[in-house]
Amino acid sequence: MYSVPEITGATRLVGIVADPIAHVRTPQSLNRLFAVRGIDAVMVPMHVPSAYLASWFAGLRRIGNLDGIVATVPHKEAIAALCDDLGPEARLVGAANVVRRAPDGRMIGEMFDGRGFVGGLRSQGIDPAGHRVLLIGAGGAAAAIAFALAAAGVAHLTIANRTAVKAEKLANRVATAFPGVAVDAGDPDPRGCSLVVNGTSLGLKPDDPLPVRVERLEGAAIVAEVVMQPARTALLEAAAGMGCRMHEGFHMLEAQLALLAEFLTASDLPVPTTAQPNL
C-alpha cells in the first residue's frame, strides 16, 4: 500500500492529453509511482480536441509549476511538431508521447512507446527476436513500435494501415534504419505471422471493427494490443477463441512508467541529441 500525498502549492503538475480522455490509465499508475518514490507531483487528465491543441500547448509554456505532459491518441505526431526539440527516439519516429517543460518554457519531446511495448513483451516472457510480425497501424504509437521491433531483431515486419501510402512510407523508413530486417507494407492478413500487433485505437469503442481477419490467425500466434481499456478488447477475445496467446495493452504502459517519471521530473536531464537511439 502507499499513502496518498497531500497536494500543496509546491506540488509539481504533470498532464496527460488525449481525445477522448476517460479511458486512460496512466494517471492511476503514474500517481502511484510518484507516491511510492516520494515525488511531490501529480498527473491530471486533460481533454483537448485536435483543433485546440496548438493554442493549448502554447499556454503550457507559461505554467511555471508544470513539469510536462504525456500525449496519447490522437496527438502524438502533432505534439512532436509543436516541440522546440526532440529526443533521439522521437526524432526517429516522428512522434512524441511525452514532453518535458524546461524552466525557460522550452518544450522537449521524447517517445517511449516503442521501448515500452518491447519491454512489455519481454516482461511476459516474449522475446520478439525472430518473429514474423504483422503490425496494424502507422500512426505515432505504431511507428514507435515498428522501429523498436526492428531493433529487437524480428525476422520480418509487415505494416498494414488503412492509408496504404502511410504504411509504405513507414516501412521504408524502418528498412532504412534497420537494413538487416525484412520490412514491407501489406494487407492486414495474419496468415504466417507469429506475432500480430494492433497499433491502432480500434477496440477502444464497443462498435469498432476488428483490425485483422481473426479467422486467419494461426493458433500458435501471439496477439498483442496497445489499447488499454478495455483490458481484453474484442480482438483479444477473438484471438483467444482461435487458441492464440493474448498480450494486453497495459503491459506497454507498465514497462515505460519509470522512464516517463524520470523524464518528466528530473531537473538535470541533458538536452536530447539527434543521435539514433538504441531502442
Which position has the grid cell 511507428?
143
Closest alpha carbon to 194 in 147, 229, 156, 146: 156
Annotated catalytic residue, options 76, 166, 169, 205: 76
Q: How far apart are CA 72 and CA 20, in angstroms?
A: 10
Q: How far apart are CA 102 and CA 240, in angstroms?
A: 45
201, three cell numbers:
485505437
76 is catalytic: yes
Residue 135 bridge partners (DSSP): 159, 197
Q: Are 126 and 144 in contact (CB under 8 A)?
A: no
Q: How far apart are CA 221 and CA 241, in angstroms?
A: 12
59: exposed, middle or buried (Cβ count in 10 Å: 0-12, 13-18, 19+): exposed
Cβ contacts of 206 within 8 Å, gap of 6 or more: 234
Distance in angstroms between the alpha carbons of the first and the last residue of the chain: 33
Cite the active site residues.
76
